[in-house]
Structure 1
Amino acid sequence: MREEDFPDTRDFAKILVVDDDQINLETICHTLEYYGHNVFPVEDGETALMAVFEFQPDLIILDINMPGMNGLEVCKRLQTEPSTSKIPIIFLTGSKTDINKAFELGGVDYIVKPFNTHEVLARVNVHLRNSLLLNTLADTNAALEKITNSLEEKVKERTRELALSNQKLTEEIAERQKLQSKLEHLAKYDMTSSLLNRISMEEHLDFKLLESQMLEDFTLFYLYMDVDQFKVINDTCGHAAGDQLIRNLSALLKRIANNDEIVARMGGDEFSIIYNSPDIESATRRAVEIRKAINDMHFDWEKEHLFVNVSMGLVELNAEFQDANHIMSVAERLYFESKSQGGGELLIYEQEKETVNNNTRAVRWVPVIQQAIEQNKFSLFGQGIYATQKQQSAKFEVLLRMQSSGSELIQPSQFISIAEQYHLISAIDQKVLEKTCQMMADFPNFKGELALNISGESVYKASFVDQAYDTIQRYDIDASKLCFEINESSALTNLNATRRFIEKLKQLGCKFALDDFGTGTSSYGFLRELDVQYVKIDGSFIHKIGSEKISRMMVESIVAIARENNMSVIAEAVETESMLKVLKEIDVDYAQGFLLHKPEALENLIKMPH
């Protein structure tokens, strides 16, 4: 017999063994003592009864058939005494005929002779554990009963306290419910206008788009509008006037909206409406009605009488659109186009016509672009970027031309948008960077700076950033002579990716410019988010800087913000002396345009002394 054959209970017990057979008695006692139990051997029933009260055993092993008082009689007497009735008794028997009687009298188990010492030890351990658990349970119940009595008093006391605080709790719950309703309202509605907010409009658009696609003869239209020259109102009359104008306009839109029309404030001075109309003609008439109501709205602030006008974009919901964001981006593009035309216009998106034209054009150009990439059929030109106070240039923007099958050079306006649409633009960007680095390596004495336009797709791709990093290192050039121009709208679309692009290439010393600045809806707010050295003002502002007050004010504000961020300002598309004169007056750092320099082969510019 091995010790590991039995579980080590660590609960060494007092065990009374009763058997008139000396050999059995010694065998059982020796086995139990070997495993640490305190054993008391007895050879007859009378002595066993006396030993129980003296020895106080935890368990009794009792032979049934003994001379004089047998085991069944001993068990019967022990069960009548409260102090001994809980002691577990395991019977020893040479025949199973007495087993039923033994269990009736209170025995917990039996062992048939001749017995196996393994079996004896196993049964002893089981019933010792059971006895321990029962005793522990009894003690626990007694303790619980005591605790329960104490708790009953505490419960009564606590009940009185709860009754007093219940009313206060009820009031707090009501207040929280009121606050929760308010929060739910704020999540769906704009605070200033009380109209639906942008998130709610997106949800409605997604649902309505699905509804329009499922139901026949159900045509929906999405109208997006933006207040013209709203910034001028804020700047001249103050933000309080701007907020009041938003509230007045919101009240007007709610008043003139039909029951089935959904109106929302999209943010700032932008609003949108979803409405049902049988066809594009009636939808256009409805948009014109809304615009007229806005134009007729009188807004007086202190001594100022202001006229309100809006730029609008109208889109019909159909299967060409994937989701709300797609619809809104198209509508926003339309009202931006309206603003570029002077504002106050309603532009309508003709999806089918535009799709057909774009697809036809793309089918023709895609293989041409792919062949140009494979055969590296690109030429690089450069245009000077001049310091306005010195009119000397050591900076050049790298401009791309694609070589045709003949000697003709194709302007980027003819193929760049197609390259972007079919995801070929990153390959073109890499070719331009490779060629530029090669030229800089060939002419190491070049002291100037070259600015390269990088598409949003390339900026977002981690693989392109790594490739650009490796290319610059491979040519062993002075990376501080490279400036990457990132389009503002691309930068703001994925701000985190733009940051990663800048941080990676800045390790080599590269510089960065935010191109077409001012066209985004949140330009100023995001300017401090990007570590760029230059801000390049969009040409749409420069064209009107001498004739339109708001354009000059925009440029002046950009210069002021850039100064605060330690950034230099570049004005592009400078074509007249009057433009240049104004730029000098408002202290723009650099100017670029046909007035100053017409593009020429980049290689010629790099090898010239500067």
Structure 2
Amino acid sequence: MHRKDGGFLGQPAWLWSLGALLVGLALSTLAAALHHDALARSEALRLERLAERSFESVEGQLQTCGLLVRSVQALFLASDSVTPEEFETVYANLRPREQFPSLQAMAYAERSARPAPDAAPDGREHYLTTLVAPRSGNELLLGLDVATQPANLAAARFARDADRPVMSGPFQLIQRSGMPGPNDGITIRLPIYSAGDPPRDLAARRSREIGTLAASFRVSRLIADSLPAETRERFRVRVLDVTDSGRALLFEQGDPNEAAGMVDPGSRPQATYVRELAFGGRTWRFEAEPLPDADPATWLPALTFGIGVLASLLLATLAWSIAGTRGRALALAGEMTSQFQQSEARFRALNDLLPALVMLARADDAQLVYVNQACRDRFGIGDQVESTRLVELVEDPELRERILRLPGAPDGIINESARLQGPQQPAFWATLSVSCIMLGDQPHLLAVANDITELRVLSEELSYQAKHDSLTGLYNRREFERRLDAAITSLDAGGPPWALLYMDLDQFKLVNDTSGHYAGDQLLAQLATLLSGMLPEGAVVARLGGDEFAMLVEGSDENTAVALAETLRTEIDGYSFGWEQRNYTISTSIGVVMLRGPGLSQRALMAHADTACYMAKERGRNRVHLFSEQDSETSQRRSEMEWAGRIRQALADGRFLLHFQELAPLWEGEQSAGVHMEMLVRLRDEKGTLVPPGAFIPAAERFGLMPQLDRWVVETTLANFNRLHPSGKPVSMCAINLSGPTFEDGAFADFVLDALERHGVSPRRICFEITETAAVSSMARAVEFMQRLRAAGCKFSLDDFGSGMASFGYLKNLPVDYIKIDGSFIRNIETDPVSYSIVRAVTDIGHQLGLQVVGEWVADERARDLLRGLSVDYAQGFAIHKPEAALCFRDPPRT
């Protein structure tokens, strides 16, 4: 039988099937291998990006911590002295615990040449911690000398010299000693310099440093909180401080048994991701090693192989599977991008919460690349960030050039006050800090600004108020005395002579008594304008008080000075003042004193001028008198014979009496069962007529009788404490005025405490009122006196607040419970926006310091409503209550 050779096409069907199967298996094997390689590459790229994102998260967290410290530093830039309450308030307003769970404390250490009180002097420089926030849990930091912690001390000195945030090496947190868990810590520091222009060189920074501001963090918690959740699942992470070739372990996360230990990057560069982070003068080494199970998708190639075996003839199904795998890879990449964007959004949200204006610009052209929300709102930039340059927001051309040259400058930072202005926005004053930083490999300019416009305006207004009389706009007594001191200094240096003119209106009391004090005020304001227009250029004119004026003219001889005084007298003599259908003829008496040669004193010159004016009045008024030595002797005898004797005789005869004026709370929450009132001293003359306090109080102060008069007021008030108010209501708070000389009486505090005990009056119901000027003139004695009586329970009120010198600066040093805003501001609160702003600012600051605020001279219900709208606590004035005699000084009813 002949066999037929079928060749290749004649193979059995099962062979075709086997061939097809073998081809399908080969293709499936090839597809599975390719799939495995693709997944391996994708997973490697994903891990690399995750590690890079983790590096950037830690670096971003450090930058954010530096901004936090910089924002707190703004408090010290706006104030020469910061109280613990202000420090706590600023710390609480920043809400740092919500964004920085690792934050342990904010602390300010004051630079001192002396160590802690319980340490022996060692001649070294020390930093004693005086402010801590939050105080709870950080009590151990108070009094801590930073010099005892080498890492912190080195960071403080480096920050001082570089004037930029500096991070310390790792150390043990003292406030966590003995507590469970790790107590590892770092600090980020910034220096605090004294007030003035920013120091421009190393020597100035070292000489002007007054302290150091630091934020302490638990470093392990800081790093752990900044790491994405996926990083903790996919890596074993270790962070070391490798500054100066060291290897201090800061953080380690992950099970060492899973990764078989961290290995040196040189032996397995493909398995470990390493990066070094530089911040604040320290270098951290970040190591991330994937865990063994970091590749959960190893089953996918097997699935591909199975699908290829089962569906080798269904190519469409295989294509669909490959397409699905690619879709999953794209979804994974999208998830990674979303997480990175969320991290960046959290960083931007933190900056948007800061009240400071934060700007980031490219270093080469100062083009803005990022601003926070506060900056957008203040400059009105909106969506125009990338079309705005940083220097375009600065008014000063010279400062613009310095900012552009900053990347190449040796110090690399700018700190100063400047006027800023956005597009179509009004200009404002701000403290501006600009530094050059590196983001990745690109230099950038980081600018932080704080709006100080309101503070600057308020400071200028207070400075003006401290130098000028509120009624006439002329210089006040204090500023005139300062100018007189300057004239005396110029004479001591051989300068030209000066003439001092002292003017007092004749019969000014007649205008007040017949037409009221408002008419008298208008007369004084008109005469002030008249005087200003008649004096030569460069002359100093001031209102000393009441109807007394003084003028200081340089380069005058006796004839010229007397002729000028005669011209003033003649003009005023011919001046007619009309008020409500009454016309008054005004005259004045002027005393002239010549200033020649060195060795003069302010007190003697003012006494001579007062004497010359008195002599002009004694010789018939409406005349000019040139001072001579015989005038001084006459005035001295007259003063001793009249006022000193009259006041002493009135005390002996019992002709002093007490009036009272009630204070009303402006809020229902301030209501109490008792009466809040102020005691006022009055004098009856020999004929029984009431003498106004303005007549005898200045005389009592001049001749040293106020301590004796204050003793009488305190003794009489306490002896009749239950017989002061005619209604019989209990007195919840009784205010007693004290004069400045009383603080110099070392026995007065003992006298008050003894009187309180003898008469059974609770010290908590007594409030002593002192004027701002009196307290400042004898600050040390005043504080000692106040602390002594406050320890017993008495309260203190600072009267006439705002009429003196640097009110806000001294307020932080005086232990008071109430502040009384000077009545000149309350009187004009309805018509003067500046007075309204000052009252609002004083009230806000008083409440921040835990004080209650009282408004004086409340003359009508409109002023009362305005004060209530400004949250003032109490009101005092004729609209509340007119002064009346105390019950114990009223005549008994007739039967």
The normalised TM-score by structure 2 is: 0.32
The normalised TM-score by structure 1 is: 0.45
Where relative contact order (Cα < 8 A, 6+ residues apart) is larger, the structure is 1
Structure with larger Rg: 1
In terms of fraction of residues, the more helix-rich structure is: 1
